């Protein structure tokens, strides 16, 4: 007996280590070629990857303008770019060489975080720990290129109370706003703009 699958929700598949064999990649390709709704779709999956974010947010990157040039003015593109924090590759490009100089300096690395292409924040390396971490990678350029260097975001702290482990704790906190949405794609085109989480119908 066979069943048609209408929705595929990915709880894994976000890291190359989740594909240990060619059969794993074949399975992902089979899922992507299916008519099922994918959450996320491969377009959204790639857009959310750190490497794609780095390609868009590296200072002087032309890619953001390429995506927006048909619908946005140069002024609007600049305003959007100004909301980004700087993200750099660790490669042979001029931007990558600049990032390597920053990341290997005990002083300059203080304002940055090194991120691998993995989900979750537990794999990040911060500030003065970055040079020693990179030294531990040796001359393996592939390992260096699997990381991006991001300028630290320094939001203001506020005095507030939070509930943690069943206890109310008060002190300096940093707030974070998460915005969720939905987008359905058909043949590469945006079919429906999503409703922001918590928004009324």
Strand ranges, E, within 30-182:
37-39, 87-89, 112-116, 125-126, 147-151, 158-164, 167-173
Q: How many residues does the chain have?
A: 201
What contacts 51, CB < 8 A, 6 or more positions away? 89, 117, 148
Structure confidence by residue, pLDDT tens digits, 181-194: 777 766 655 555 44
**Which of 10-14, 67-71, 187-191 bottoms out in mean pLDDT, i.e. has the lowest?**
187-191
The alpha carbons of the chain give a radius of gyration, in whole angstroms, of 20
What contacts 137, CB < 8 A, 6 or more positions away? 143, 144
Among residues of the chain, what percentage have pLDDT more than 90? 42
Task: State the pLDDT confidence band at 198, using cuts at 50, 70 and 90.
Answer: very low
Closest CA to 81 of 55, 101, 99: 55
Closest CA to 147 of 163, 158, 131: 131
Spatial distance between the Cα atoms of 19 and 12, rounded to a whole number of angstroms? 10
Among residues of the chain, what percentage have pLDDT more than 70? 87
Spatial distance between the Cα atoms of 160 and 41, rounded to a whole number of angstroms? 38
Global pTM?
0.70
Between the two ends of the chain, the Cα-to-Cα distance in Å is 39
Stretch 1-29: mean pLDDT: 89
Are 81 and 64 in contact by the 8 Å Cβ rule? The answer is yes
Closest CA to 127 of 114, 144, 109, 115: 109
Per-residue confidence (pLDDT) for residue 195, from 0 to 100:
42
Task: State the pLDDT confidence band at 39, using cuts at 50, 70 and 90.
Answer: confident
Which of 18-32, 163-177, 186-200 is modeled with the greatest confidence?
18-32
Spatial distance between the Cα atoms of 135 and 184, rounded to a whole number of angstroms? 43
Structure confidence by residue, pLDDT tens digits, 102-144: 999 999 999 999 998 766 557 899 999 999 999 999 988 888 9
C-alpha separations of 109 from 126, 147, 152 in Å: 8, 14, 10
Residue 199 has pLDDT above 70, yes or no: no
């Amino acid at each position: 007996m066979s069943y048609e699958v209408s929705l595929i929700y990915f709880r894994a598949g976000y890291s190359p280590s989740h594909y240990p064999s060619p059969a794993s990649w074949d399975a992902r390709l089979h899922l992507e070629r299916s008519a099922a709704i994918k959450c996320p779709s491969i377009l959204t999956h790639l857009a959310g990857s750190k490497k794609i974010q780095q390609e868009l947010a590296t200072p002087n990157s032309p890619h953001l303008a390429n995506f927006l040039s048909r619908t946005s003015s140069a002024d609007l593109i600049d305003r959007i770019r100004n909301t980004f924090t700087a993200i750099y590759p660790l490669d042979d490009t001029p931007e990558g060489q600049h990032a390597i100089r920053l990341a290997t300096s005990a002083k300059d690395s203080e304002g940055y975080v090194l991120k691998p292409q993995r989900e979750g924040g537990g794999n990040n390396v911060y500030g003065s720990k970055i040079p020693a971490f990179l030294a531990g990678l040796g001359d393996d350029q592939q390992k260096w290129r699997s990381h991006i260097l991001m300028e630290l975001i320094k939001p203001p702290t506020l005095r507030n109370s939070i509930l943690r482990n069943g206890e109310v704790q008060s002190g300096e906190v940093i707030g974070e706003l998460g915005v969720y949405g939905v987008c359905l794609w058909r043949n590469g085109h945006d079919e429906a703009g999503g409703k922001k989480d918590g928004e009324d119908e």
